[in-house]
Copies of this chain bind each other. A is one copy, B any other.
Amino acid sequence: MTTAAADTPVITLTTDFGHKGPFVAVMKGVIISALPNARIIDLTHEVHVHWPAEAGFWLSRSYHYFPPGTVHIAVVDPGVGTSRDILGASCNGHYFLAPDNGLIPAVLDKQGNKNLFRLSDQWLSAHAPNTISSTFHGRDIFAPLGAQLASGKIELADIGPEIFDPVPSLIEPAETVGGQLRGVVIAIDHFGNLITNIAAEQLLGFSMPVATLAGQQFKFHKTYGNVAPGDFLALINSFNVVEIARAEGNAADSLGVGWGAPISIRDCAA
A19 within 8 A of B: yes
A17 within 8 A of B: yes
A22-B46 in contact given A33-B65, A78-B224 (Cβ < 8 Å): no
A8 within 8 A of B: yes
**In the complex, which residues of chain B have a beta carbon less than 8 angstroms from the beta carbon of A18?**
46, 189-191
Q: Are A45's CB and B26's CB within 8 A?
A: no
1/0 per residue, CB under 8 A from B, across A219-257: the answer is 000111110000000010110000000011000000000
| Closest CB in chain B relative to A156 CB, distance in Å | 21
**In the complex, which residues of chain B have a beta carbon less than 8 angstroms from the beta carbon of A223?**
80-82, 134-135
How far, in angstroms, from A67 to B82 measured CA to CA in the complex? 30
A134-B19 in contact given A32-B39, A36-B8, A191-B49 (Cβ < 8 Å): no
The answer, among B61, B140, B235, for a CB contact under 8 Å with A135, is B235
A58 within 8 A of B: yes
**In the complex, which residues of chain B have a beta carbon less than 8 angstroms from the beta carbon of A145?**
none
Q: Are A20's CB and B188's CB within 8 A?
A: yes
How far, in angstroms, from A169 to B120 measured CA to CA in the complex? 44
Q: Are B21's CB and A190's CB within 8 A?
A: yes
Q: Helix, strand, loop or mixed for chain A's interface?
A: loop
CB-CB contacts below 8 Å: A147-195 with B: 187-191, 195
1/0 per residue, CB under 8 A from B, across A10-45: the answer is 101010111111110110111011001101011111
Q: Are A222's CB and B36's CB within 8 A?
A: no
**In the complex, which residues of chain B have a beta carbon less than 8 angstroms from the beta carbon of A43?**
22, 25
**In the complex, which residues of chain B have a beta carbon less than 8 angstroms from the beta carbon of A266?**
none
A66 within 8 A of B: yes
How far, in angstroms, from A58 to B61 measured CA to CA in the complex? 32
* CB closest residue in chain B, given A13: B25
The 10 closest A-B pairs by CB, nearest first: A18-B190, A81-B223, A136-B238, A133-B238, A29-B65, A82-B225, A134-B223, A29-B66, A26-B65, A22-B62
Q: A19-B190, A33-B67 are in contact. List 17 more A-B contacts (CB 8 A).
A: A8-B36, A12-B29, A18-B46, A20-B44, A21-B58, A21-B190, A25-B41, A25-B43, A25-B44, A29-B67, A49-B191, A81-B226, A84-B225, A133-B238, A135-B223, A136-B237, A140-B238
30 contacts between A and B (CB under 8 A): A8-B36, A10-B32, A18-B189, A19-B44, A19-B45, A19-B190, A20-B46, A20-B188, A20-B189, A21-B46, A21-B187, A22-B61, A25-B44, A26-B65, A28-B41, A29-B41, A29-B67, A32-B67, A50-B248, A65-B139, A81-B222, A82-B223, A82-B226, A84-B225, A133-B237, A135-B223, A135-B235, A135-B238, A136-B237, A139-B238
